[in-house]
C-alpha cells in the first residue's frame, strides 16, 4: 500500500460518511441497534464494532487502520497519551516476579513506570547501555520477560541496534517494545527489524500541531487484542473522537512535515557543529555521531530533535543564550510546526531527574520554519554567551 493512500484515504469509509471528503467526528459515547438480536451480535465484538466508545469508535477506528499500516503492523491502538500506551503495553506482558531490561536514560515517564510503579508490583528492571546490544543479553535473568528500547533515546540520542536486540530477545522468548516517537513511522519501522511492539507519543510528529496529547501502540493482532481486552479497557486511557480526528488531520501532512523538519535539522546541526561556542551536537545524522553508521542502516532519515552542549562558563551565560532566542519557544514537548528549546538548567528541581546531564545542555526541536531564519536566530544568541 502506498504512503499517500494510507495518509489520505485508508479507513475513511466515505460512502457511510454523508459523502464527506473529510470523515465525520462521531462524537458519541454509545451506539444504538434496531433489534435485540443486532445488539447481541455487537456486544460479542465490542472492541471492533460500535457499542461504547471506550472499546470502539468509528472515528478512532479509521485512525487505528492508518497507524497500523504506517508501522507495518497488523493492528494498532490509540491511547489518550504516549505514556499510557507504553504503560499499558509493558504492564500487559509482565507479572509479579518478572524482570524487564530497558535502555538507560529512557523517556522520563518510562523510567518512572519501571522505578516507581512496577517495582511496587514486584516487577524488577535493569537499565543497560544500549549502544552495545550484547548488554541486553548480559542483563537477562531466568525471569526476564520484556525488553524496552527507545532508539534513539531521549536527550542523549544513543541508538540501539534494533535487529540485534530483537534477535537476542527471540532466542530467549522475550518480548520487545520500541518507543519510536523520535522517528515517526516514516523514518524507522521497528517491526521490520524484528521488534514486537511499537509505541509512539502521538502528541509529537503524528499530530504535529501541538494541540493534542495522544499515544499509539502497534503490533500483531494477538498482542494488540491482549492489551486491548485487559489494560486498555480497564485503565481506560482512551482518546476522544475529536482528538482522533485531529490526529488524522495531522497525518495528512506527516510526510511534508517530518521531511521539512529533518531537512532543517540537518542544516541547523551542521551549522551548530561548526560554531566555536558549541561544544557538542547530539544528532545521529552527523558523521561525528559515534553511531552514525547504525543510523544510516536502520533509519531512513534522522528527524528534527537534537541536543547541544554550549561552551558556556556558567548557567547565566546559558540563560542569556536561551532567553535571547526569538524563534525557539522555551517549552517541553516537540514534533509540532514550531521550533522549541528545552534547557537542562531549567529542570533542576526537587525530582533531580536530569542532574547527571551537563547544565550547558539544551534540547532543540527544529520545526518547519525557514532554516535560514532559525540559523540567524541561533547566531545572534550564540554571540551573547
Ligand atoms: C513525549 C514522549 C513520550 C510520552 O508521550 P505523551 O504523549 O507525552 O504521554 C514518550 N516517549 C517519547 C520519546 C516522547 O518524546
Task: Write down the pLDDT at residue 229.
Answer: 95
Q: Which of 204, 214, 334 to mutate to test the pocket of ligand 1 (most atoms within 8 A of CB)?
A: 204
The more confidently predicted of residues 21 and 381 is 381
Choose the final residue of a domain: 252, 270, 299.
Answer: 252
Both 246 and 259 in one domain: the answer is no
Both 187 and 282 in one domain: the answer is no
The pTM of this model reads 0.96
Catalytic site includes residue 327: no
The pLDDT tens digits of the residues spanning 239-274 come to: 999 999 999 999 999 999 999 999 999 999 999 999
Task: Transcribe 51-99 into DSSP letters.
Answer: SBTTT--HHHHHHHHHHHHHTT-SEEEEESSHHHHHHHHHHHT--TT-E
Q: Please give the C-alpha separations between residue 306 and each of 39, 59, 202, 204, 273, in angstroms, as whole numbers.
A: 51, 34, 19, 14, 12
Phi-psi region at 150: left, alpha or beta (left = phi > 0; alpha = psi -120 to 50)? beta
Q: Is the CB of 201 within 6 Å of ligand 1?
A: yes
Catalytic site includes residue 337: no
Please say if the pLDDT value at position 1 is more than 70.
yes
Task: Write down the pLDDT at residue 373.
Answer: 98
- Integer Cα distance of 244 and 239 in angstroms: 7
Q: Is the CB of 336 within 6 Å of ligand 1?
A: no
Both 283 and 326 in one domain: the answer is yes
Both 108 and 224 in one domain: the answer is yes
- Integer Cα distance of 220 and 238 in angstroms: 20
Choose the final residue of a domain: 252, 272, 295.
Answer: 252
- Integer Cα distance of 367 and 68 in angstroms: 26
Catalytic site includes residue 179: yes
Residue nearest to atom 11 of ligand 1 (CA): 107
Task: Write down the pLDDT at residue 46.
Answer: 87
Both 77 and 50 in one domain: the answer is yes
The pLDDT tens digits of the residues spanning 312-324 come to: 999 999 999 999 9
CATH number at residue 198: 3.40.640.10
Please say if the pLDDT value at position 221 is more than 80.
yes
Both 86 and 210 in one domain: the answer is yes
Both 102 and 189 in one domain: the answer is yes
Residue 12 pLDDT class (50, 70, 90 cuts): confident
CATH number at residue 354: 3.90.1150.10
Both 324 and 226 in one domain: the answer is no
Residue 352 pLDDT class (50, 70, 90 cuts): low
> Could you list the residue range(s) of the whole structural domain that residue 134 is in?
3-252
Handedness of CA 283, 284, 287, 291 (dihedral sign): positive
The pLDDT tens digits of the residues spanning 69-116 come to: 999 999 999 999 999 999 999 999 999 999 999 999 999 999 999 999
Both 52 and 167 in one domain: the answer is yes
Both 235 and 310 in one domain: the answer is no
Q: Is the CB of 81 within 6 Å of ligand 1?
A: yes
CA–centroid distance, residue 31 to ligand 1 (Å): 32
Cβ neighbors of 37 (< 8 A, separation 6 or more) are none
Please say if the pLDDT value at position 8 is more than 80.
yes
Task: Write down the pLDDT at residue 93.
Answer: 98
Choose the final residue of a domain: 195, 222, 252.
Answer: 252
Residue 354 pLDDT class (50, 70, 90 cuts): low
Please say if the pLDDT value at position 353 is more than 60.
no
Task: Write down the pLDDT at residue 207.
Answer: 98
Catalytic site includes residue 49: no
Please say if the pLDDT value at position 351 is more than 60.
no
- Integer Cα distance of 204 and 176 in angstroms: 22
Average pLDDT score over the chain: 95
Peptide linkage before 223 cis (omega within 30 of 0): no
Both 60 and 180 in one domain: the answer is yes
The pLDDT tens digits of the residues spanning 292-315 come to: 999 999 999 999 999 999 999 999
If one counts the domains in the chain, the total is: 2
Which of 33, 52, 54, 112 is catalytic? The answer is: 54
Q: Mean per-residue pLDDT for 353-378?
A: 91
The pLDDT tens digits of the residues spanning 198-214 come to: 999 999 999 999 999 99
- With a pLDDT cut of 90, the percent of the chain lying above it is 90
Longest CA–CA span in the chain (Å) reads 74
Cβ contact 56:49 at 8 Å: yes
Both 112 and 8 in one domain: the answer is yes
Specify the ligand 1 atom closest to the Cα of 213.
7
The pLDDT tens digits of the residues spanning 22-38 come to: 999 999 999 999 999 99
Nearest to 238 by CA among 220, 214, 222, 217: 214
The pLDDT tens digits of the residues spanning 317-343 come to: 999 999 999 999 999 999 999 999 999
Q: Is the CB of 207 within 6 Å of ligand 1?
A: no
Amino acid at each position: 500500500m502506498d504512503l499517500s493512500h494510507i495518509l489520505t484515504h485508508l479507513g475513511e469509509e466515505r460512502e457511510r460518511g454523508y459523502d464527506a471528503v473529510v470523515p465525520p467526528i462521531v462524537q458519541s459515547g454509545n451506539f444504538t441497534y434496531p433489534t435485540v438480536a443486532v445488539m447481541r451480535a455487537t456486544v460479542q465484538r465490542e472492541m471492533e464494532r460500535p457499542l461504547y466508545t471506550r472499546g470502539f469508535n468509528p472515528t478512532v477506528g479509521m485512525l487505528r487502520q492508518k497507524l497500523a499500516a504506517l508501522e507495518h503492523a497488523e493492528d494498532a491502538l490509540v491511547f489518550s497519551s504516549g505514556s499510557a500506551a507504553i504503560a499499558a503495553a509493558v504492564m500487559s506482558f509482565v507479572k509479579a516476579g518478572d524482570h524487564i531490561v530497558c535502555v538507560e536514560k529512557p523517556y522520563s515517564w518510562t523510567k518512572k513506570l519501571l522505578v516507581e510503579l512496577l517495582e511496587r508490583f514486584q516487577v524488577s528492571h535493569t537499565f543497560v547501555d544500549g549502544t552495545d546490544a550484547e548488554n541486553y543479553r548480559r542483563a537477562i535473568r531466568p525471569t526476564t520477560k520484556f525488553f524496552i528500547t527507545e532508539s534513539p533515546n531521549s536527550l542523549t540520542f544513543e541508538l540501539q541496534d534494533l535487529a540485534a536486540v530483537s534477535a537476542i530477545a527471540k532466542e530467549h522468548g522475550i518480548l520487545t517494545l520500541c518507543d519510536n516517537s523520535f522517528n515517526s513511522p516514516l523514518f524507522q519501522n521497528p517491526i521490520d527489524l524484528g521488534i514486537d511492539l511499537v509505541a509512539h507519543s502521538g502528541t509529537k510528529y503524528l499530530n504535529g500541531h501541538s494541540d493534542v496529547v495522544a499515544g499509539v501502540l502497534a503490533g500483531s493482532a494477538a498482542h494488540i487484542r491482549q492489551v486491548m481486552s485487559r489494560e486498555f479497557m480497564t485503565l481506560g486511557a482512551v482518546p476522544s473522537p475529536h482528538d482522533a480526528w485531529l490526529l488524522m488531520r495531522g497525518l495528512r501532512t506527516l510526510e511534508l512535515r517530518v521531511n521539512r523538519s529533518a531537512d532543517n535539522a540537518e542544516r541547523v546541526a551542521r551549522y551548530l557543529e561548526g560554531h566555536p561556542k558549541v561544544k557538542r551536537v547530539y544528532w545521529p545524522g552527523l558523521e561525528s555521531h559515534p553511531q552514525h553508521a547504525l543510523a544510516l542502516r536502520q533509519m531512513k532519515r534522522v528527524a528534527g530533535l537534537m541536543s547541544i552542549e554550549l561552551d558556556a562558563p556558567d548557567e547565566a551565560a546559558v540563560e542569556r543564550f536561551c532567553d535571547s532566542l526569538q524563534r525557539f519557544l522555551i517549552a517541553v514537548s516537540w514534533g509540532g510546526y514550531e521550533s522549541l528549546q528545552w534547557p537542562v538548567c531549567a529542570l533542576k528541581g526537587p525530582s533531580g531527574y536530569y542532574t547527571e546531564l551537563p547544565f550547558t545542555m539544551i534540547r532543540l526541536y527544529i520545526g518547519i520554519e525557514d532554516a535560514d531564519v532559525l540559523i540567524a536566530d541561533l547566531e545572534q544568541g550564540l554571540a551573547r554567551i
